[in-house]
Amino acid sequence: MKTKDDRLAAITAIISSQVVSNQDELLEKLNLKGFNVTQATLSRDIKELKIVKVHTANGYKYQIHSEKHLNTARNSGILSVDSASNLVVIKTGPGFAGAVASAIDTDVACNAIMGTIAGDDTVLVILRSADSLAEAMDAISGAIPNIKSKTI
């Protein structure tokens, strides 16, 4: 059973890893993940999460408000996990990337992982090949249990 908190977490993960420019778009992405609600509910969720809609050079996008960002980070540190070819990108709260990268370095034993690089709020995990993605994700999930639920 998916709870409201699950949905809020999913929204946070989506917003932090993808460009979402309106609530209907967010609705679609949530539907894909099995959350079925209406726009009215999203409007309330967005208010509760203090998500703001910002103007960028090429359109609008929702963004986690920095203070809330910090609170979320306090809980898990990890906001979202995404991957492409042989790279995994983990978004964290500001300042948490180093801790997460360090955790992966020391707590994960996986030959598929060549190494990690941390910025301020982003961790890059470099794999030997795109084929080893599943293997690496399993290894990481073992060390950081709730990371799986954040995966896009």
Q: Please give the residue ranges that form the binding site for DNA (CB under 7 A).
A: 1, 4, 7, 22-24, 36-41, 43-44, 46-47, 53, 59-60
| Alpha carbon distance 28, 77 (integer Å) | 26
Q: Is 109 helix (H, G, I), strand (E, B) or coil?
A: coil
Residues 113-142 that bind its own copies (CB under 8 A): 114-124, 126-129, 138-139, 142
| Alpha carbon distance 131, 27 (integer Å) | 31
| Six-digit token string for 108 | 């994960």
| Six-digit token string for 62 | 């929702």
29 is a site residue for its own copies (CB under 8 A): no
Closer by beta carbon to DNA, 29 or else 128: 29
Nearby residues of 41 by Cβ (< 8 Å), 6 or more positions away: none
Least Cα distance to 95 among 75, 125, 112, 73 occurs for: 73
Q: How far is the CB of 96 from its own copies (least distance, A)?
A: 14
17 is a site residue for its own copies (CB under 8 A): yes
Which residues of this protein are in contact with its own copies, per CB under 8 A?
17-19, 21, 46-47, 50, 52-61, 63, 65, 82, 84-87, 89, 91, 98, 101-102, 105-111, 114-124, 126-129, 138-139, 142-143
